[in-house]
Chains A and B, each alone.
Chain A
Amino acid sequence: MTAARGTRTSQFDRTAGGDLLPSDHIDTVDDSTRDERGAGEASVGNLKLGPLGWARWFWRQLTSMRTALFLLLMLALAAVPGSLVPQHLSDPNGVTQYKLDHPTLYPILDKLQLFDTYSSVWFSAIYLLLFVSLVGCIIPRVKHHIDAMMAKPPKTPVRLNRMAGFRSVVAPEGTDASAAVAGAQKLLKSQGYRTVVLDGPRGEKSVSAERGYLRETGNLVFHIALLGILIVVGIGGSFGWTAQRIVTVGQTYVDTNVNLDSFNPGRWVTGENLPPYSVTVNDLSVKYEKANTSAAGEPLDYDASVTATRADGSSYDAHIKVNHPLRIDGTSVYLLGNGYSPVLTFRNPQGKVVASGPTPFLAENSNMLSQGVVKVTDGLSKQLGVMGVFMPTAARDANGQLASSYPGLNNPRLSLTIFSGNLGLDDGVPQSVYELNADHLKQIAGPAAKTPALDLGVGETAKLPGNLGTVTFDKVERYASLDVHHDPTQGWVLVFAILILGGLLTSLFVPRRRMWVKAKTDASGAVTLEYAGLARGEDPRLDEAVESLASAHQSQLAEPRLAGAGTPSEFNETKA
C-alpha cells in the first residue's frame, strides 16, 4: 500500500499505480483518513474557509469524477426535450405549427427556450460546466502523464505477494540471480515494457517494468479532441454560411449573396466576398418507381446535370445528386429538393406579351401537387395576382376532387385562381414570392367569382375575365432546390472525430500494467523467483500476462546459455 502523502498539491490523488486522477476516481488510493480530511474541508462546521479556500473547494468539486458524471447524466437528460418539441434549428415550420396548435402552452415553452434547446441557457450551462470540469481534469493529467513518460518504472515493491498474479518459483539449480533478472528484462523489453533493473535492500535483484502508456495518452487524446470539437464547432458557426437557391432547368445562379434566395451568414461573414462561381442547371432527371406496386411513384433518383463555371472562367460539367454534392471553390452545393416550374405567358388584349417565364411551384405532397403564385405588375390594365395549383398527373380522387395521382408528368394540369387590383408591390414592403395577400384584391376567376378557376393543360390558352387579355400555359420545367454551404471548420471536426475514436480505442483496449520479476538468493545459494503484476485501470488479462511471463521465463532459464546472454554492464541499463 502506498503511504499517505503529507501534502496534497491539487485535488487529484495518485492511484496505487501512480496515475494522477480525480480524488474520487476508483483507481485512486482508498485512504479513509484522507477522505475524512477532505470532508472536513468541505463541511465548514468550525473550520473557516477563506475565499481562496472556497474557490479551491469549489474547483475540487467541479473537477471530481462525481460531478463529471452528474453533468454527463444531466446533459443526456437536458437533450431530451429538444426531441419532444420541434426546434427552430431543424424544423422551423414545426415550431410555427406548434404555436398554432398549442396557443397556451407555446409562450411558456418558448420562455423556457424549449424551441431552441441546444442553444438554450440551461443546455449551454451544462455542457460548458462539463467542459470546464474536463479542462480542470485534463491539464494536471497531461502534465503528470508527460512526467510519467519521462520517468523510470518505479521501485519494485518489497512484498510482491500482495500484487496481482503473484507466483513464486524456485529456480533450477545453478541459476545466477543477476542473469535470471537480465533474462526477464530481455523478455519484458521484447513485450514492449520499459524496464529497470534494481538491487533490493537484502541483496535481491529485480526488474521493474511498465507498459501501456498509450492507454493514458489515448484517454487524454479522447478528452482533448472532445474539447477540440466544441471549440471548432463554436468557431465554425461564426465563419460559415448557408444559402438556398431555386434554379429552374436552363437557369444559372451566381454565387453572390444578392443572387441567392436566402443567405444565412455566420457572425463574422459579411457575404460580400463569396467565391463568385456560377452554376447552370442543364437538366434535372427524376425517376419514379413504376414496376413495384408496393412503392409506385416513390422517387428513385434525382440527378441534376450542371455546368459549373469558376471565377476564373474555367467551366466543367458535373452532376449533383442527393448523396453527391458539388464541391466548388470551398463551398458545397446540395440538391435538397425539386419541383415544377410551369411556364406561363400573359398577353394583353392586343396579343402583346406582357409577362412570360417559369415560376417555381412548391410541392405539397408526395404526388407533387404544387402551389405557386404569379404576379403580373405591368402591361395589363390592372395588376394581376395569380394563385396556381399544379398537378403533374391530374385525376379525380374518390370524392370527385381534382388531385394529383402520380408525381411524374403524365397529365399536367394547372388551375389558376385570379385576383385583380393593386398588389402593393410599390409600397416598399418586401413580399414573399410564394405568397399572395389577397385581402385587398378582387377575385375575378375562381370559387368566389363568377368565372370559375381557369383550368389549363400544356399549350392551352384561356381568356382572362373582364377582357384583360389571355394566359397561356406553355410548358412545364423542373427546378432544383439547391443549398449552398460553406463551413471552414468541417475538416477539423472530422480530424477531431477520428482522434476521438482512436483515443477511445487505445484508452479502452491498451492495458497499462506493471510487472515485476524478483530473484532472491538465500544462504544456500538457491534462487527463488517471484513474479507479479499490477493493473492500472481495467486489465482483465493481467493474471494471464503474469502467468505467460513466468512460464516464458522458466523455459528461458531451462536453457542456461540463453539465460546468461547479457553482459554484466547491461544489467544496470535503465532505458527501455
Chain B
Amino acid sequence: MTDTLSTISEIAIYVVMGLYVVATALFALDLAKRSAEGSATTTVRSAVERRAEAGAAVATGGGSANAATATLVRPTESARAGSAGIPGSSRMLRAAMTVTTVAWVIHLLSDVTRGIAAHRVPWANMWEFSLTGTLVIVGLFLAANLRWDIRWIGTFILGLVCVLLMVAQVRYYVPVVPLPPALQSYWLVIHIMVAIFGTGFFALGFALAAAQLGQSWRERRQELSLPPVLPFLKSLPDALTLENLSYRVNIIGFICWTFTLIAGAIWAEKAWGRYWGWDTKEVWTFIIWVIYAGYIHARATRGWRGRPSAWLAIAGFVAVMFNFGIVNVFFHGLHSYSGLTN
C-alpha cells in the first residue's frame, strides 16, 4: 500500500512538473505579448510634459510631498492609462492560469498521497518539504489572484517552482521512511507547517520585490527620457503599488517566521533539552528573521524606502533558500533531517 501510494505520488509529481513548465511558458508568452504591445505603443513623452503633469497632480492634492503613506498618493492619470492601455487579460494568460490550477490540484494529490503513504504529514524531510513548500507557493499565488490581479508574476513564481521541484527531484528525493524519534511530535505539524507558509509568503514577496525593482528601473529611465527597457512592465502596476503589495505579503511571512522561530524553540526544549543553542539551522532562522526585521525597519526609514528595502526583501528570500538548500545539507547541526546520506 505504501509503495503503491508513494509511486502514485511520484508519477503525479512528474505530471505536475510538466504542467508547470507549460504554465511557465504560457505566462512567459503573455509577457512577451505585453512586451510587444508595450513597445509598439511607446511614445516617449517629454520631461516637460511629465513635469507639468506632476505639478498638476500636486495642485489637486494628490502630490507625493507628504507621502507618509502610499494611500496618500493617487495614481496619476498617466499611470492609469498605462495599465489600461493593454488588456490585463489575454487568452495566453487565461490558459496559463487554467494549466496552473489543474497542475496544482494534481500537485495537491501528489502531496496528500505521499502523506498517506508515510502515515504522517508530508513534510518530514527535504523532499517532502520541497513538495509541500512548492504546493504552498503556487497555492498562495492562486489565492492571491482571487484578491489582486497579479497573474503577470506567474512566469516568475512558476519558473521558481519548476526550478525548486527539479532540484528537489534530483538532489533531495528519498523514499518513504518512518519518523525518527526526534521528529515524533505534534510540533512537527505546527513548526514546519508555519515555516512552509512563511517560505511561501516570502517567495511571493520576493517575486513582487523583484518586479518592483524592475519597474522602478524602468520608471527612472523613463523619467530621464532614456530608451525604454523591459516594456512588458508597462502593463504592470507602478513601482509604489508593487512595493506596497510586496510589503503586505512579506509582513505576513515575517509573522509566520516569528511564530516558527518560537515554536521551534519550544520544540527544541522538549526534544533537545534547550530552547536555543545556536545550532546552524537556528542561526540561519535567526539571520532570516533579522533580515526581514531590517526590511520592515527600512520601509520606515527615510532614504531606505523603495529600492533599498526591496533589495533587503530579496536578500531575505535568498537567505531562506540558502537555509533550506545549503544549510540543511552541508552544515553540521542538529536539524539533519534531510534524510540524505552523505
Most buried by A among B66, B291, B327, B334: B66
Complex alpha-carbon distance, A94 and B331, angstroms:
12
Contact between A300 and B181, CB atoms less than 8 A apart: yes
Stretch of A83-91, A402-410, A435-443 contacting B (4+ beta carbons < 8 Å): A83-91
Chain A min CB distance to B249 (Å): 12
Contact between A15 and B68, CB atoms less than 8 A apart: yes
Known: A83-B280, A543-B71. A508 touches B251 (CB 8 A): yes
Complex alpha-carbon distance, A65 and B66, angstroms:
19
Closest residue of B by beta carbon distance from A538: B69
Chain B min CB distance to A100 (Å): 15
Question: B234-277 vs A: 1/0 string, CB under 8 Å?
Answer: 00000000001001100100110011001001110111111111
B residues in contact with A569, CB < 8 Å: none
Complex alpha-carbon distance, A24 and B331, angstroms:
39
Contact between A82 and B283, CB atoms less than 8 A apart: yes
Interface residues of A in 279-301 (CB under 8 A from B): 289, 292, 294-295, 298-301
Closest residue of A by beta carbon distance from B289: A76
Contact between A89 and B278, CB atoms less than 8 A apart: yes
Contact between B277 and A504, CB atoms less than 8 A apart: no
A residues in contact with B255, CB < 8 Å: 501, 504-505, 508
A residues in contact with B70, CB < 8 Å: 540
Complex alpha-carbon distance, A69 and B331, angstroms:
28
A residues in contact with B298, CB < 8 Å: 69
Closest residue of B by beta carbon distance from A493: B275
Q: Is A321 an interface residue (CB 8 A)?
A: yes
Question: A329-369 vs B: 1/0 string, CB under 8 Å?
Answer: 00010101000000000000000000000000000000000
Interface residues of B in 176-211 (CB under 8 A from A): 176-182, 184-185, 187
Q: Is B50 an interface residue (CB 8 A)?
A: no
Interface residues of A in 124-176 (CB under 8 A from B): 161-162, 164-166
Contact between B301 and A25, CB atoms less than 8 A apart: yes
Chain A min CB distance to B245 (Å): 9
Q: Is A72 an interface residue (CB 8 A)?
A: yes
Contact between A89 and B277, CB atoms less than 8 A apart: yes
Chain B min CB distance to A98 (Å): 10
Contact between B278 and A25, CB atoms less than 8 A apart: no
Closest residue of A by beta carbon distance from B302: A24
A residues in contact with B304, CB < 8 Å: 66, 69
Contact between A26 and B178, CB atoms less than 8 A apart: no
B residues in contact with A91, CB < 8 Å: 332
Chain B min CB distance to A9 (Å): 21
Complex alpha-carbon distance, A302 and B294, angstroms:
42
Contact between A501 and B259, CB atoms less than 8 A apart: yes
Closest residue of A by beta carbon distance from B265: A497
B residues in contact with A16, CB < 8 Å: 66, 68
Complex alpha-carbon distance, A17 and B66, angstroms:
11
Chain B min CB distance to A332 (Å): 7
Chain B min CB distance to A227 (Å): 14
Q: Which of A24, A66, A80, A332 contacts B287 (CB 8 A)?
A: A80
Contact between B71 and A539, CB atoms less than 8 A apart: yes
Interface residues of A in 448-502 (CB under 8 A from B): 483, 485, 487, 490, 493-494, 497-498, 500-501
A residues in contact with B61, CB < 8 Å: 161-162, 166
Known: A25-B301, A65-B300, A323-B181. A164 touches B71 (CB 8 A): yes
Closest residue of B by beta carbon distance from A70: B294
Q: Is A224 an interface residue (CB 8 A)?
A: no
Chain B min CB distance to A96 (Å): 13
Q: Is B324 an interface residue (CB 8 A)?
A: no
Q: Is B227 an interface residue (CB 8 A)?
A: no
Contact between B68 and A289, CB atoms less than 8 A apart: no
Interface of A is mostly: mixed
A residues in contact with B301, CB < 8 Å: 24-26, 65-66, 69
Complex alpha-carbon distance, A87 and B298, angstroms:
31
A residues in contact with B293, CB < 8 Å: 72
Question: A232-249 vs B: 1/0 string, CB under 8 Å?
Answer: 010000000010000000
Residues of B in contact (CB 8 Å), total 67
Known: A72-B293, A90-B278. A332 touches B273 (CB 8 A): yes
Contact between A500 and B262, CB atoms less than 8 A apart: yes
Closest residue of B by beta carbon distance from A161: B61
Q: Is A324 an interface residue (CB 8 A)?
A: yes
Interface residues of A in 51-81 (CB under 8 A from B): 65-66, 68-69, 72-73, 75-76, 79-80
Known: A25-B302, A27-B68, A298-B178. A323 touches B262 (CB 8 A): no
Q: Which of B181, B267, B275, B294 contacts A301 (CB 8 A)?
A: B181
A residues in contact with B273, CB < 8 Å: 242, 325, 332, 334, 336, 483, 485
Closest residue of A by beta carbon distance from B73: A164
A residues in contact with B69, CB < 8 Å: 164, 535, 537-539, 542
Q: Is B34 an interface residue (CB 8 A)?
A: no
Chain A min CB distance to B49 (Å): 25
Contact between B180 and A65, CB atoms less than 8 A apart: no
Question: A524-543 vs B: 1/0 string, CB under 8 Å?
Answer: 00000000000111111011
Complex alpha-carbon distance, A191 and B247, angstroms:
26
Q: Which of A72, A294, A324, A540 contacts B248 (CB 8 A)?
A: A540
Q: Is B290 an interface residue (CB 8 A)?
A: yes
Q: Which of B254, B262, B272, B287 contacts A79 (CB 8 A)?
A: B287
Closest residue of A by beta carbon distance from B284: A83
Q: Is B337 an interface residue (CB 8 A)?
A: no
Chain B min CB distance to A480 (Å): 13
Q: Is B120 an interface residue (CB 8 A)?
A: no
B residues in contact with A86, CB < 8 Å: 332
B residues in contact with A90, CB < 8 Å: 277-279, 333-334
B residues in contact with A84, CB < 8 Å: 331
Contact between A69 and B271, CB atoms less than 8 A apart: no
Complex alpha-carbon distance, A89 and B331, angstroms:
16
Q: Is B297 an interface residue (CB 8 A)?
A: yes
Q: Is A30 an interface residue (CB 8 A)?
A: yes
A residues in contact with B279, CB < 8 Å: 90
Most buried by B among A83, A94, A162, A289: A83
Q: Is A1 an interface residue (CB 8 A)?
A: yes
Contact between B182 and A75, CB atoms less than 8 A apart: no
Complex alpha-carbon distance, A292 and B254, angstroms:
39
A residues engaging B (CB < 8 A)?
1, 15-17, 24-28, 30, 65-66, 68-69, 72-73, 75-76, 79-80, 82-84, 86-87, 89-91, 94, 117-118, 161-162, 164-166, 233, 242, 289, 292, 294-295, 298-302, 321-325, 332, 334, 336, 483, 485, 487, 490, 493-494, 497-498, 500-501, 504-505, 508, 535-540, 542-543
Known pairs A79-B287, A487-B274. 17 more at Cβ < 8 A?
Answer: A25-B302, A26-B302, A65-B300, A69-B297, A69-B298, A72-B294, A72-B297, A83-B284, A91-B332, A162-B61, A162-B66, A289-B178, A295-B178, A302-B181, A325-B270, A497-B265, A535-B68
Give 5 CB contacts A-B under 8 Å: A26-B300, A322-B184, A324-B270, A497-B262, A538-B69
Q: Which 9 A-B pairs have the closest CB atoms?
A: A295-B177, A322-B181, A334-B273, A65-B301, A535-B69, A76-B290, A323-B185, A72-B294, A294-B175
B residues engaging A (CB < 8 A)?
61, 65-66, 68-72, 174-182, 184-185, 187, 244, 247-248, 251, 254-255, 258-259, 262, 265-267, 269-280, 283-284, 286-287, 290-291, 293-294, 297-305, 312, 327, 331-334
